[in-house]
C-alpha cells in the first residue's frame, strides 16, 4: 500500500464521476489534491466531499494556456506535483457504425491527446525530483 500522506496529487476530470471519487479517496488517504475540470460548480462539489486540503483549478484541458495555468497554480501553492491522474475524458456510447468522425475526433482529443499534453506539462516538474507516478486510467 502506497503512503499518500502529504503527497500532491493532480486529478483531471475531478468535477464528476470517477475523477471525483478518486479525488475523495486520495484526500481520505492524506493527500493534497488539486482538482481540475471545466465546471467550477462540479469542482466545488467534489472539494466539499474531500476531508483534506484541495485546490480547485477550473480549466479546459484542450487549451494549452489552461494546462500551463493548472501546473503553475499547483506549484505556487504546494511547490511540487507528486502524482498525476489523467482521468478527464468522454465516454462514447452507441453503435460503432453510426458514430461520426467528428465524435471520434472529439473523444480522441480529450481522452488521448489532452492526457499526453498534460503529461508533457507535468513531467519536467517530476523529473526535477526524479519521481512521480502518472496514471492514465481507462484511456481509449
Ligand X SMILES: NC(=O)c1ccc[n+]([C@@H]2O[C@H](COP(=O)([O-])OP(=O)(O)OC[C@H]3O[C@@H](n4cnc5c(N)ncnc54)[C@H](OP(=O)(O)O)[C@@H]3O)[C@@H](O)[C@H]2O)c1
CB nearer to ligand X: give 19 or 132: 19
Cβ at position 76, least distance to ligand X in Å: 20
CB nearer to ligand X: give 63 or 129: 63
Cell matching residue 109: 482529443
CA gap 88, 17 in Å, rounded: 10
Asked if residues 37 and 50 have their Cβ atoms less than 8 Å apart, the reply is no
Cβ at position 87, least distance to ligand X in Å: 5
CA gap 132, 48 in Å, rounded: 26
Residues paired with residue 58 on neighbouring β-strands, in sequence order: 37
Exposed/middle/buried for 24, CB within 10 Å: 0-12, 13-18, 19+?
Answer: buried
Cβ at position 3, least distance to ligand X in Å: 26
Cβ at position 48, least distance to ligand X in Å: 15
3-state secondary structure of 92: coil
CB nearer to ligand X: give 42 or 132: 42
Question: Which residues in this chain contact ligand X in the complex, by CB under 6 A?
Answer: 13-19, 37-39, 42, 60-62, 87-91, 110-111, 138
CB nearer to ligand X: give 61 or 71: 61
Amino acid at each position: 500500500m502506497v503512503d499518500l500522506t502529504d503527497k500532491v496529487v493532480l486529478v483531471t476530470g475531478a468535477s464528476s464521476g470517477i475523477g471525483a471519487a478518486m479525488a475523495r479517496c486520495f484526500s481520505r488517504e492524506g493527500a493534497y489534491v488539486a482538482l481540475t475540470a471545466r465546471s467550477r460548480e462540479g469542482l466545488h462539489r467534489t472539494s466539499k466531499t474531500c476531508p483534506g486540503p484541495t485546490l480547485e483549478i477550473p480549466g479546459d484541458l484542450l487549451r494549452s494556456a489552461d494546462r500551463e495555468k493548472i501546473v503553475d497554480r499547483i506549484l505556487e501553492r504546494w511547490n511540487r506535483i507528486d502524482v498525476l491522474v489523467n482521468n478527464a475524458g468522454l465516454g462514447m456510447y452507441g453503435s460503432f457504425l453510426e458514430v461520426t468522425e467528428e465524435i471520434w475526433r472529439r473523444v480522441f482529443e480529450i481522452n488521448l491527446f489532452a492526457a499526453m499534453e498534460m503529461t508533457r506539462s507535468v513531467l519536467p516538474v517530476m523529473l526535477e525530483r526524479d519521481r512521480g507516478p502518472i496514471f492514465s486510467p481507462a484511456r481509449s
